[in-house]
Structure formats: structure tokens, C-alpha cells
Amino acid sequence: MCFVGEGEYYEAGSGIDSSGVRYNMGMIKMGAGELRKSTPDKTILTKIRRNPIYFVLDEIIDTYNVGSLFRLADAVSAEKMFLCGKMEYPPSARIHKASVGTENWVPWEKTESTLDTVKMLKMEGVQIVAIEQDRRSIPYCELKPSLPVALVVGHETKGVKHEVLEAADKIVELPMMGVNKSFNVWGSAAVVAYRIIEGIGR
């Protein structure tokens, strides 16, 4: 194994793309500065090992949250992200800034309807888990997901749409122990996503 600077490594036989990014059988490590300038091609993207996790964004309005969710999806090596309904999507300078360029590395798709996206995923055998405060919700720590799984997060003020919650297989929420009654959308998604990651491979 060869180290290529802080936090980055590759093995003998690795490739180097046209922008100088080294990759090794799906293992790519770059800092924020490199990520913002990187332009991966399809060959490199297919080498990244993906976990069976999808993110479904139900009309997230804050571009900082959208960018942070891209960054989270990259961190857990998610299979794909769906940006649904009326919301900003790449190319966007504001999303790019928040995501530090990870929107170029995470497979994503813009769709018109969150509900239709959820139904499509369910037909493909994907479990739908909505992250929302609801009378039917369970604590996130009690979630026993089946894979593949899609995490649905909603509008910062209105939350996940009622009809999408009705279509979900599970609804989970985080306990709020302080004075604030809700948590940031990408922060909530991160807690649940890593809970799922902990169980993969066990």
C-alpha cells in the first residue's frame, strides 16, 4: 500500500484519471480542495463500492442542507440520491459549496414526485424509511432495516408529505431531550444512516 498525502492512499496497479485523481478498486480519498475541482468519469464512478442505501429528498429547500446530504451520501457510499419535487439541484454553486464537490461523485436523479419515486423503489424491493416526527414513528435506535433501504427526509418546515409517510414501511425519529423540538434534516439523516451502516456486514 502506498500513501499519497494526508488521508489518501492507493495500491500498486491503481489508475489515475484525466484530472490526476488516483483510484483503487473503488477506494478514492481526496480532501475538500481536490473534491471541488474533481471531474470523475463514468469508469471511475463504477469502481466505487456502494452500500445498499438510497436517499430520497422530499422538496428540501435549503441548498446548504442539499449539499450536506450529498456529502453524507458520499460518506456512507450510498447507491443513489433522488431529489424530488420543487427544489434546487446541481449544477448549483451553492450546493457545490456545501457539498465540497461530492455531488459529482454521488449518483443522483431529479424526479418530479416524491411519492412516485418511493413507489418505484418499493417495487424494486427497497424498504422505505421516513425520518419524521409522527404519531406512528419509532425511536431510530429500534429500527431493524432490511436492505436495500431508502431514507426519506423532508421539507425543513413542512416535513415529509403525508402521502409519502403513508407509503413508508417505517417512520423513525430522534429523541429530542432539550428545548428544541426538532433536529436539522441532514443531521437526522446522518444519525439514521450510520445506524444502518453499523449493521451492514454483521
DSSP assignment string, 141-188: GG----SSEEEEEEBTTTBS-HHHHHH-SEEEE----SS-S---HHHH
The reported pLDDT for the residue numbered 15 is 47
The reported pLDDT for the residue numbered 118 is 98
Alpha-carbon gap, residue 27 to 129, rounded angstroms: 28
Please list, in sequence order, all residues whose beta carbon lies within 8 angstroms of the beta carbon of residue 10, skipping any fewer than 6 positions away: 1, 2, 4, 22, 23, 24, 27
The reported pLDDT for the residue numbered 202 is 58
The reported pLDDT for the residue numbered 31 is 81
User: In this structure, are strands 51-58 and 78-84 parallel, antiparallel, or unpaired?
Assistant: parallel
Residues lower than pLDDT 50 in the chain: 1-26
The reported pLDDT for the residue numbered 201 is 64
Please list, in sequence order, all residues whose beta carbon lies within 8 angstroms of the beta carbon of residue 86, skipping any fewer than 6 positions away: 59
